[in-house]
Each structure stands twice: as structure tokens, then as C-alpha cells.
A and B are shown apart, each in its own frame.
Chain A
Amino acid sequence: MNDTSHSILVVEDDPHQATLLKRVCSRGDPQAHVHVTRSAEEAIAYLNRPGPDTGVASPVPDIILLDVLMEGIGGLGFLEWYSQQPTFQHIHVVVFTSSSDDDLARRCMSLGAREFIVKSWDFTEVLPVLLQNLADR
């Protein structure tokens, strides 16, 4: 894996959707390293894992694709944690949820999310946003 390749973390509790998102990410950037966690707690543990960014196995992600409605602390809980982590602020968080609630969107954005995208039938719709954010990094 070379130094310029990107890394994406997908936080999604539904295994089917997680697989689809992984495929969509790989389609957008075939070189990208895509890791999937099934909950916000698991995502936090992944980011906090010892000896991060060794450059080989699993680098610190450039982008986190975050579901909101999940068991446990959920996407909002994750964002609350994230907003307190100065060392991770360079990571772009893209919320990808089935909820189109305006208040939820405002909450997420105020906690530092870069994008709030409502899931449609076609997950490839997330691609342009993903590529744009990778380019901005």
C-alpha cells in the first residue's frame, strides 16, 4: 500500500448495507483501504487502537462514513466523542442515514460532520460526495 492511498472507515450496523458501502467506496477509489465497523463503540475502539498509522495494516481513515440509527451510542454518540478529539479533527465525517430529519442534520453538522446525506435506493449516490471529500483532504 503506497503513501498516497486513502483510507475510509464505514460505520454501519446492517451487514448488507455495510457490504454495499464497502463496494461503493472501492469503486470510487480502487486503491482505498476500506474498513467496516458495526457500531459507534467499535469505531471508537478502532480509532483508539494502539500504534495507529503504522502505514501497513490499517491507517487512520481520511473519511468516516457514519450511520446514525444504530444500537448503543449510535452515530450521534460517536459525533459527540469525535467533537472532543482534537487529534482526529482532520478526519472528514460523512453522515449517511435513512432519516431525513432536519433537526438531526443540524445536530450532526454542529458536532462537526462535514456532510449529511439521506440514504436512497441507490448508494452510489454517495460517491460524488465521497470523492470530493477525499480530494479536499
Chain B
Amino acid sequence: MTSSKVRNKRGTAPSAPRSGGAEQAPSVSERSDEFIRRRSELRAVIDAIPDLISVKDRDGVYRLCNESFSEYIGIKPRLVVGKTDAELFEEEEACRRSEHDHLVLDREETLRNESWEKSADGQRGLFDTLEAPFYSFEGQLLGLIEVSRDITERHRMEEELRQTHDQLNAQYEQSKELEVLKDSLTHMLVHDMRTPLTGIITSLQLLQMDVGALGEDSEEDVTRALRSATLLAQMINGVLDVNKMEAGDMKLDIRPHDLVKASRAALDSLGAVTNDRDVAVEAEGEVWTDCDETLVTRVVTNLVANALRFTPADGSVRVGVGRSEDGSARVEVRDTGEGIPAEYHERIFEKFGQVASTKDQVNRSTGLGLTFCKLAVEAHGGRIGVTSQVDEGSTFWFELPAQGAGP
């Protein structure tokens, strides 16, 4: 084989340096040395390539192969050259190869395929094989070149990756199913608690109306029972609300409202909880925005109740109402409480994610208050978050997008 320059179908070969006749032409022996040197260089290059490379003429006779190819089929290169597939391989394999050759040579197209092959030492491997026609300088079809790359390792890794992916997917699906099951179980339980709890609360109310019929101690007992039952009812309402909002069943009644007024209403609704506590709304003028007033009032109520729970009796809670730079209505509930470590700032908005459950009677909550706030704010297309320094206090804030606000 005098030239192994592969020439693509369309292109022309790189122009060979023309040797001008008048100039000093190299001698025949010089040219021959140069030729041999170049040829062995080329040989070294293709032998260094780990891919299996072989070249066949139009009759399917091997004209060239590299070390990798001959090693793989277990036949020395000089024994390969001059042979056909029929002479080198078993019949089935030879047939397959010759079919491929015909496809490439007849259509003069590059053929690419992946196939499992077996090496001379019995190793099976997956190969990505390219077979392309090659041409003479004059554009005449000379034969085909075949380059095979061992992709067994890559394939194995892809397989592993796919399996891991499938496993993860299956686990994810399973955990989603469990989550749904858990939610519907909670919902069912909570729902079934409504009837008996309504009985307890209504009966206690009726009992309490019986002014004078009970002794002073018994009246206190009834009041205490009523307070506990009401707390329980609030917890159950919290679970139901969060469930409802997660299912997207909460209908919003969006109208323009003044958030300063809503925040004051929130403080009022807390009633006795705020007695003897330093808690106030801070705002300049009115801050109108489109929102569901009931929901937003409950968000502020939750945030303030939360702040009071984690702030010592001599600390303060401020509800700042204003606008952020982009015009969104912004409410901040700032406390001088114990603060929240940074690692909890995301988690506290998740279900039952409140930092630590306190045994303190006063600090009891459903663990759903902040989840409710997050869902309610997000239902408005708003954002909610917290900034906090341990021992210095926390600021829970939320922003509702500015819409056609105004009285």
C-alpha cells in the first residue's frame, strides 16, 4: 500500500508539495530513505492508537491493520495483510463482516454500529464501529477503512447509572405513595375527630352558660376543659387547612385590602395572649394590596403567636408593614426572642419542622403554623422567609406581589 491517506468523499486530498523541475531534486536514494522514514512514522502512529483499525480494498482483501486490531483477532499484522475475512474468521463472522463491507462500498456511505465482539482470548466486549469508504487522489473508490472502539467500560457505567437511576426513581415513587397514604390517613383521622370534638366543645359551652348552676371550682374546670378542647380544635383546623391548601382546594377571595388594618386585626384576634406583652404594629399610613384578607390575617396571627411563644415575657414583638423596593407589600414580624440557628431557616417552614418541640405548655403548637403561612403566602404568588441571629431574635417576613392596589 503506497498511500494510506484517507480521503473523504467530497473533499480533495491536501495538495501535495509540487517539486519544481528546475530546482535541486532529491536523489532517488534520498527520496527512498525519506519515503521509508515517513512510512514507519505512520506505522508507529496507527499502532499507537488503541482503537482497532483495518483497511480493506474493494475485493475485501486486508491492506493494512494496526497492532490493536491484530492483537484483538490474535493474528500478526503481516499475516492479516493480503487475506480476506473468509480466511481470517469463522464463517458466520466472515459473512457478517462481508455484508457490512458491501453496504459501505455499494452505498459509499459511512456505516456506524455497536456490537458485541469476542476477542481471540475469549473476552467479550462492546464495540462502536465506524466503516467508511476511502478514495484515490483521482476520486476512485479504493476500499474501506474500519475503526472499532471498545466501549464496554463506558457501557457498563451507563448501565450502572441507569440502574441506579431506576432504583432511585422506584424509591422516589414509593416514598411519594407513602406520603399520600400518610396524608390521607391524617386527613381521615382528623376528619373523624370533628364530630366528637364538636360534641365536647358545644356541651362545655352549654354547661358554661349555666351561670350559677356550677360551683366556682367547677366553673374553672369547665373553662379549662373548654380552653383545651378549643386548642385541640385549632390544631385539627391547622392540619385540615394545610391539607386543603396542599391539595389546591383552598379558594382565595382576592380583593384590595389594607395590610396595616389586617395586621391590627391579627393582633386583636390573639386576645388574651397579648396581655402584658410588648407587641405592636408599626406602619406609616396604609399599605393596600390584593389579597385574601382572612388568610393574610391568619398568616400574621400565626407569625405573631409564634414570635410571642419564643420571646421572653420582657421581650418585644413588632409587626412592621410597608413596601419592599419592587413595590411588593411587605410584612415583617420582628421579635427579641432566642433566635433560630441558620441551618433551620428552610426547614421550619416544612410540615412539623419547628425547631424543637418545647414541653412548655405555653409553647405548644401544631408544628403546622409556619407551613400554613408558607402555603398561604405562596397561594398569593408571594414569598416568605426568615432572618435570625441566635440570642438576638428573629424576623419572619412575607411579601405579596403588588397588583392593582388601592382603596
Distance in angstroms from B140 CB to nearest chain A CB is 84
Partner-contacting stretch, out of B52-60, B196-204, B310-318:
B196-204
If A23-B206, A122-B205 are given as contacts, then 20 extra A-B residue pairs at C-beta distance below 8 Å, sorted by A number, are A14-B195, A16-B195, A16-B196, A17-B195, A17-B198, A20-B202, A23-B202, A24-B202, A24-B206, A27-B206, A27-B209, A119-B198, A121-B197, A121-B198, A122-B198, A122-B201, A123-B202, A124-B205, A124-B206, A124-B209
**Residues in B neighbouring A20, C-beta threshold 8 A:** 198-199, 202-203
Residues of B within 8 A of A16 (CB): 195-196, 198-199
How far apart sit A24 and B229, CA to CA, in the bound complex (Å)?
18
B341 to chain A, nearest CB (A): 36
User: Nearest-CB distance from B237 to chain A (Å)?
Assistant: 8
Q: Is the interface of A mostly helix, strand, loop or mixed?
A: helix
Q: Report the separation of the CA atoms of residues A17 and B205 in the bound assembly, to the nearest whole angstrom.
A: 15
- For the complex of A and B, list the 9 residue pairs with the smallest distance between their C-beta atoms, beginning with the closest: A123-B202, A124-B205, A121-B233, A121-B201, A20-B202, A122-B201, A121-B198, A27-B206, A122-B205
Residues in chain B near residue A23, CB distance under 8 A: 202-203, 206
Shortest CB distance A103–B (Å)? 11
The number of residues on chain B lying at the interface, defined by a beta carbon within 8 Å of a beta carbon of chain A, is 15
Q: Between A and B, how many residue pairs show CB distances below 8 Å?
A: 38
Q: Please, how many angstroms separate the alpha-carbon atoms of A23 and B233 in the complex?
A: 21
Return 20 A-B CB contacts under 8 Å, by A number: A14-B195, A16-B195, A16-B196, A16-B199, A20-B198, A20-B203, A24-B206, A27-B206, A119-B198, A121-B197, A121-B201, A121-B202, A121-B233, A122-B202, A122-B205, A123-B198, A123-B202, A123-B205, A124-B206, A124-B209
- Complex: A119 Cα to B201 Cα, angstroms: 13
Tell me if B274 counts as interface (CB < 8 A to partner A): no
B203 smallest CB distance to A (angstroms): 7
Q: Is the interface of B mostly helix, strand, loop or mixed?
A: helix
Q: Could you tell me if A124 and B202 are in contact, using CB atoms closer than 8 angstroms?
A: yes
Contacts of A14 in B (CB 8 A): 195
Residues of B within 8 A of A121 (CB): 194, 197-198, 201-202, 229-230, 233
- The interface residues of chain B lying within 8 Å CB-to-CB of A119 are 198
Bound-complex Cα distance A94 to B209 (A) = 23
Residues 215 to 268 of chain B near chain A (Cβ within 8 Å): 229-230, 233
Expressed in whole angstroms, the Cα–Cα distance for A81 and B100 within the complex equals 85
Expressed in whole angstroms, the minimum distance between the Cβ of B222 and any Cβ of chain A is 13
For window 324-377 of B, CB contacts with A under 8 Å fall at none
Most chain B CB within a 10 A radius of its CB, from A27, A121, A122, A123: A121
- A122 contact set on B, CB distance < 8 A: 198, 201-202, 205
B residues within 8 A CB of A123?
Answer: 198, 202, 205
A113 to B156, CA, bound (A): 73
Chain A residues whose CB sits within 8 angstroms of the CB of B195 once the complex forms: 14, 16-17
Contact with B along A69-102 (1 / 0, CB 8 A): 0000000000000000000000000000000000
- Of the candidates B194, B196, B198, B229, the one having the most CB atoms from chain A within 10 angstroms of its own CB is B198
Residues in A whose Cβ lies below 8 Å from that of B205: 122-124
Chain A residues closer than 8 Å to B230, beta-carbon distance? 121
Q: Nearest Cβ in chain B — how far from A122, in angstroms?
A: 5
Contacts of B197 in A (CB 8 A): 121
User: CA of A20 to CA of B198 in the docked complex: distance in angstroms?
Assistant: 9
CA–CA, A122 and B197, complex, Å = 9
